[in-house]
Chains A and B, each alone.
Chain A
């Protein structure tokens, strides 16, 4: 059965014109302003329907990325305290050198009389017998400023590293059954310098950080006997681990 073209046109026009400002806002709010908008209602309800299982397939990878980032953030937050410890060590070492130098000078009587007197007062106050090259059992030598940083050999930006960790998880299957998709695999391979490089790349990336082990002082560095008790838990979320990219700020900032 065919309706005349003019009638079809009239129906369509009438229906279209029923969506005015009021109807539109009511439709957005989930209402049905009129029976002739039932089909549109159905469309919008379908668009906003509850999640299909397929849409939630990436949950494990997302949560794995969340965990990985939290681990990294906690580690990054510890870095400043290490740096503070380093500064303290350097300062202490410097002070000892100066003090030691003064002590030597004082012992050999090379200081002016006033200074000599001052030095004696100072040293006796400290309970240190004036002449000795090492006035106290040294708690810390000057910090090894040339020591290599205890970072993994894979140098990538932290945010990328989180992404890569997620891909590595997906790739190795530890993130669950969700496999790494083609694009992810391609990007991972290019980061690893080829498909063959993925295993070692991922293990290098995850290796130094894997597990939730407590902070370990890297071997080869002097123990931090002088390090102030670091407020690690307090700074854990205080320091954003990455800020290399301008991001759309939290609510309120103007976009673009």
Chain B
């Protein structure tokens, strides 16, 4: 099952089917689900937790894998569940880091095809970086709604806010971003 890394995101219907397949234990279904949602998880975590986003994303997926048979719901609620777990894991990681001295910075940045990677990701990395300069509540609201594609109610549930507060945070975040670009 060697496939070229797709850059096209799986369609929503693909993902809904993939979710059901993954719940039935199908690794291909899980792979499709992961490919469809991992980028948004990673970008969201980069805004929330910064550098260790990839590790935290892995922990998030391990949690999902572990509890997937206890999850009941459609793709929409799965997204909400996924980002809720990601946020919890990110907050755990922040607490961990706060309680121990930070290790030496990783040197992985000097990958062989760094230039290609940089060109490929420049736009996204720049955008995510810019969003991460917003106040935390605005940054999270923008990422969850724009990048993760969650609705106001789901975002509010994840952030523990009222829907109105999420709308306001999103608007303020966008207003501030408009002033930066």
Contact = CB atoms under 8 A, between A and B. Distances in A.
Q: Main SS of chain A's interface residues?
A: helix
B62 A163 contact: yes
Nearest to B37: A51
Contact of A247 (B40, B85, B170): B85
B35 A56 contact: yes
Interface string B1-21: 000011111000000000000
B117 A66 contact: no
Given A54-B120, A250-B70, A255-B157, A65 B65 contact: yes
A47 B128 contact: yes
A40 B177 CA distance: 7
Interface string A182-211: 111000000000000000000000000000
B22 A56 contact: no
Q: Main SS of chain B's interface residues?
A: helix
A255 B154 CA distance: 11
Interface in A56-97: 56, 58-59, 61-63, 65-67, 69-70, 73
A234 interface: no
A15 B179 contact: yes
B124 A255 contact: no
B120 A52 contact: yes
For chain A, the bracket of interface size reads 35 or more
Contacts of A43: 127, 130-131, 177, 181
A99 interface: no
Nearest to A19: B175
A140 interface: no
A12 B179 contact: yes
Given A46-B127, A242-B66, A16 B85 contact: no
B108 to A, nearest CB: 7
A250 B77 contact: yes
Contacts of B175: 16-17, 19, 24
Interface residues of B, number: 73
Nearest to A247: B67
Contact of B167 (A18, A24, A247, A250): A24
B49 interface: no
B178 A159 contact: no
A68 to B, nearest CB: 9
B69 A58 contact: no
Interface string B111-142: 00000010011011011101100000000001
Interface string B63-87: 1011101111100011011001101
Given A46-B124, A163-B62, A182 B108 contact: yes
A18 B176 CA distance: 11
Contacts of B35: 51, 56, 59
A48 B72 CA distance: 27
Given A28-B145, A47-B147, A255-B84, A58 B58 contact: yes
12 contacts: A19-B178, A28-B146, A44-B177, A46-B124, A53-B7, A55-B42, A59-B31, A62-B34, A70-B25, A237-B69, A250-B73, A251-B73
CB-based closest 3 A-B pairs: A251-B77, A24-B171, A47-B127
Interface of A: 12, 15-21, 23-25, 27-28, 37, 39-40, 42-44, 46-56, 58-59, 61-63, 65-67, 69-70, 73, 159, 162-163, 166, 181-184, 237, 240-242, 247-248, 250-252, 254-256
